[in-house]
């Protein structure tokens, strides 16, 4: 029997079409009712571009992200470099073991020799043989406001970074490309600082109790109402520490019998919170909607692992901007998926609140979506507001529940009053309620700086990751020696940058991460791009090289 006659028998009419236009297969059933389905063609892995959104109608403006592949030669040379350093690492460990060389590193005592060795794994090997050699690029003491320019205390090391000493000099006006100062609110003069001083004089600095006991000040209530108005949600709650907001509230929301679907590159606080909650955790590929949809379908079809009962809750945990990649979450597609499969969404806007969107209201504003679609909107005040702490916004029932059941609300000290006042003032400036256009100016300046800096770096032929609109700009360095060299050379030219290496990124993808700020002027950005980058980083990008060869 042919396929068409089978269809006629089962369906009555010939070649019946289903509602979304898919043809019925042999038995008249439609397989693969996927919402965001790829066409059934075999694609060579190189042709597949997971960065192209499959439903472009959901996006109001073009979503341009690029994660260029590591060039083959670079990957080979990076592995070779790591191999050479590993050999020298073994040599130095040998010398240390046999007391030929003086030992500075933590080691076991003689009495512990019969126990399981403590320092033999790869992380410790990497730490003592590579990280310590280039460790002078991190933990540099800052002795001024970390605004667009800062002062660093100069250090010298007599024994190759095992110990540091202060030389007594202070490096003044080092250009700061590492602080998360997106809107430039890290300043010690101006309306925010004055308001914070008044709050200190009214309330003092310490609160001395938790929110549930005696630590609930009226400034906290004012802050929470303001945050709820800013985000466009019914109610919100503020916590003293951003990391604790994630790690202490996810356990209050999910528990055993719930499923958490979290992105591959989620922050440690989200991972910790998910693990503390003792829910089942499944990981989907970074920003990949097909992977997420597949996991959702499997979860709904198969249920919990052994009993096959339905999951109590399915929570999708994503971030607004991923700080190591500079990528923005595909929020319209996730919301479509969430509504279709009836899951819940937890959005961590640590880096995107205040930095994205025409009004600075985060990634929801950037895509032009309704804030009521996101069930739990979480964010921090550390990055764009120049303060410290975190918030969670959502429906009133949710926030009332969290006020009683969150570990952070019950056990952690509440936010300090000057910090809360700083947030209130800066949020009013961003919303424009203080009567000036300072907020709108800063948002526009941040956007201009981001576009300008990204374009300049791209024109120089460097490989830049991430979305065109994200103010976090990771520039790929790949080789381990370049992280150290780049940091030191930049400091010689009075520019402070952050280099990121192995435990935070995959081992061959080391990078330098620039955080553009609204307080940077075009002059400052030009100073950076005019430095002799090519001395360290040659023209890797094959796309750019193809363009310059024409």
- Residues in touch with other proteins (CB under 8 A): 77, 80-82, 84-85, 88, 91, 130, 133-134, 160, 479-482, 484-485, 532, 534-536, 538
State how far the Cα of 265 lies from the Cα of 271, in Å rounded to an integer.
Answer: 10
Residues in a beta bridge with 378: 348, 392
State how far the Cα of 331 lies from the Cα of 509, in Å rounded to an integer.
Answer: 26
Which residue's CB is nearer to other proteins, number 95 or number 197? Answer: 95
In the complex, least distance from residue 511 CB atom to other proteins, rounded to whole angstroms = 15
CA 528 to chain centre: 24
State how far the Cα of 173 lies from the Cα of 150, in Å rounded to an integer.
Answer: 5
What is the DSSP code (8-state) at residue 29?
A: P
Q: Strand ranges (DSSP E) for 105-183?
A: 149-156, 165-176
State how far the Cα of 154 lies from the Cα of 187, in Å rounded to an integer.
Answer: 22
CA dihedral 309, 310, 312, 316 (to 10 degrees): 130
Residues 164, 155: contact at Cβ < 8 Å? yes
The string over 68-96, giving b where at least 16 C-beta atoms fall within 10 Å of a residue's C-beta and e elsewhere, is: eebbeebeeebeebbeebeeebeebbeeb
Query: How many beta carbons lie within 10 A of that of residue 66, not counting itself?
Result: 16
Crossing angle (nearest 10°) for helices 218-231 and 417-431:
30
State how far the Cα of 160 lies from the Cα of 76, in Å rounded to an integer.
Answer: 28
Radius of gyration of the chain (CA): 26
In the complex, least distance from residue 219 CB atom to other proteins, rounded to whole angstroms = 49
Which residue's CB is nearer to other proteins, number 92 or number 149? Answer: 92
In the complex, least distance from residue 130 CB atom to other proteins, rounded to whole angstroms = 7
Which residue's CB is nearer to other proteins, number 79 or number 411? Answer: 79
Which residue's CB is nearer to other proteins, number 91 or number 547? Answer: 91
State how far the Cα of 25 lies from the Cα of 207, in Å rounded to an integer.
Answer: 67
Q: Dig out the tokens for 18 from the structure.
A: 């289903």
In the complex, least distance from residue 116 CB atom to other proteins, rounded to whole angstroms = 30
In the complex, least distance from residue 407 CB atom to other proteins, rounded to whole angstroms = 43
In the complex, least distance from residue 92 CB atom to other proteins, rounded to whole angstroms = 8
State the number of CA atoms in the 13 A half-sphere of 538 facing the CB: 5
In the complex, least distance from residue 479 CB atom to other proteins, rounded to whole angstroms = 6
In the complex, least distance from residue 156 CB atom to other proteins, rounded to whole angstroms = 16
Which residue's CB is nearer to other proteins, number 32 or number 97? Answer: 97
State the number of CA atoms in the 13 A half-sphere of 396 facing the CB: 3
Which residue's CB is nearer to other proteins, number 357 or number 480? Answer: 480
In the complex, least distance from residue 433 CB atom to other proteins, rounded to whole angstroms = 51
Which residue's CB is nearer to other proteins, number 15 or number 84? Answer: 84
In the complex, least distance from residue 78 CB atom to other proteins, rounded to whole angstroms = 9
DSSP 228-282: HHHHTSSEEEEES-HHHHHHHHHHHH--TT-EEEEETT--HHHHHHHHHTT-EEE
In the complex, least distance from residue 485 CB atom to other proteins, rounded to whole angstroms = 6
Which residue's CB is nearer to other proteins, number 55 or number 538? Answer: 538
Q: Dig out the tokens for 455 from the structure.
A: 């374009």
In the complex, least distance from residue 26 CB atom to other proteins, rounded to whole angstroms = 58
Distances (CA, A) of 345 to 58, 113, 294, 384: 18, 50, 17, 23
In the complex, least distance from residue 408 CB atom to other proteins, rounded to whole angstroms = 41
What is the DSSP code (8-state) at residue 496?
A: E
Extract long-range pairs of 395-399: CB within 8 Å, 24+ residues apart: 395/233, 395/234, 395/235, 396/234, 396/235, 398/235, 399/234, 399/235, 399/236, 399/237
Which residue's CB is nearer to other proteins, number 97 or number 451? Answer: 97
Which residue's CB is nearer to other proteins, number 485 or number 524? Answer: 485
Which residue's CB is nearer to other proteins, number 49 or number 159? Answer: 159
Which residue's CB is nearer to other proteins, number 439 or number 480? Answer: 480
Distances (CA, A) of 192 to 227, 234, 237, 548: 16, 26, 21, 47
Which residue's CB is nearer to other proteins, number 393 or number 484? Answer: 484
DSSP 174-242: EEE-SS--TT----SSSHHHHHHHHHHHHH-S---SBTTTT---HHHHHHHHHHHHHHTSSEEEEES-H
């Amino acid at each position: 029997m042919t396929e068409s006659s089978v269809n006629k028998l089962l369906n009555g009419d010939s070649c019946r079409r289903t509602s979304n236009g898919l043809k019925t297969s042999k038995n008249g059933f439609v397989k693969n009712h996927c919402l965001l389905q790829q066409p059934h063609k075999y694609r060579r892995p190189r042709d597949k571009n997971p960065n192209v959104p499959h439903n472009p109608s959901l996006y109001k403006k073009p979503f341009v992200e690029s994660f260029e592949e590591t060039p083959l030669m670079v990957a080979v040379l990076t592995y070779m470099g790591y191999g050479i350093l590993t050999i020298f690492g073994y040599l130095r460990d040998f010398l240390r073991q046999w007391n030929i060389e003086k030992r500075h590193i933590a080691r076991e005592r003689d009495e512990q020799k019969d126990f399981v060795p403590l320092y033999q794994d790869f992380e410790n090997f990497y730490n003592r043989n590579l990280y310590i050699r280039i460790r002078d690029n991190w933990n540099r003491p800052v002795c001024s406001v970390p605004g667009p320019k800062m002062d660093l205390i100069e250090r010298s090391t007599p024994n190759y970074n095992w110990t540091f000493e202060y030389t007594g000099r202070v490096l003044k006006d080092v250009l700061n490309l590492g602080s998360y100062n997106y809107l430039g609110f890290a300043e010690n003069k101006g309306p925010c600082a004055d308001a914070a001083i008044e709050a200190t004089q009214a309330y003092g600095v310490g609160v001395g109790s938790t929110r549930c006991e005696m630590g609930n000040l009226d400034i906290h209530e004012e802050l929470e109402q303001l945050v709820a108005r800013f985000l466009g949600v019914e109610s919100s709650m503020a916590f003293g520490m951003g990391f604790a907001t994630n790690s202490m509230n996810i356990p209050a929301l999910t528990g055993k019998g719930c499923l958490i679907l979290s992105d591959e590159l989620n922050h440690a606080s989200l991972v910790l919170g998910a693990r503390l909650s003792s829910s089942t955790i499944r990981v989907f590929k970074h920003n990949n909607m097909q992977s997420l949809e597949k996991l959702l379908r499997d979860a709904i079809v198969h249920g919990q692992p052994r009993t096959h009962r339905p999951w109590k809750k399915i929570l999708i945990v994503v971030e607004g901007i991923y700080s190591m990649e500079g990528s923005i979450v595909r929020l319209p597609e996730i919301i479509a998926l969430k509504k279709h499969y009836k899951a819940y969404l937890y959005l961590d806007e640590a880096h995107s609140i205040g930095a994205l969107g025409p009004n600075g209201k985060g990634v929801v504003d950037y895509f032009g979506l309704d804030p009521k679609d996101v069930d739990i909107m979480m964010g921090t005040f550390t990055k764009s507001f120049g303060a410290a702490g975190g918030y969670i916004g959502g429906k009133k029932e949710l926030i009332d529940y969290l006020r009683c059941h969150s570990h952070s609300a019950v056990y952690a000290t509440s936010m300090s009053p000057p910090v809360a006042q700083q947030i209130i003032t800066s949020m009013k400036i961003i919303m424009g309620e203080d009567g000036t256009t300072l907020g709108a100016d800063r948002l526009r300046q941040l956007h201009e700086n981001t576009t300008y800096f990204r374009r300049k770096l791209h024109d120089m032929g460097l490989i830049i990751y991430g979305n065109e609109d994200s103010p976090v700009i990771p520039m790929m360095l790949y080789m381990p020696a370049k992280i150290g060299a780049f940091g030191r050379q930049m400091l010689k030219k009075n520019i402070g940058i952050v280099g990121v290496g192995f435990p935070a990124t995959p081992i061959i993808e080391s990078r330098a991460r620039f955080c553009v700020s609204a307080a940077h002027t075009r002059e400052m950005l030009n100073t950076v791009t005019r430095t002799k980058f090519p001395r360290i980083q040659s023209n890797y990008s094959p796309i750019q090289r193809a363009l310059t060869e024409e």
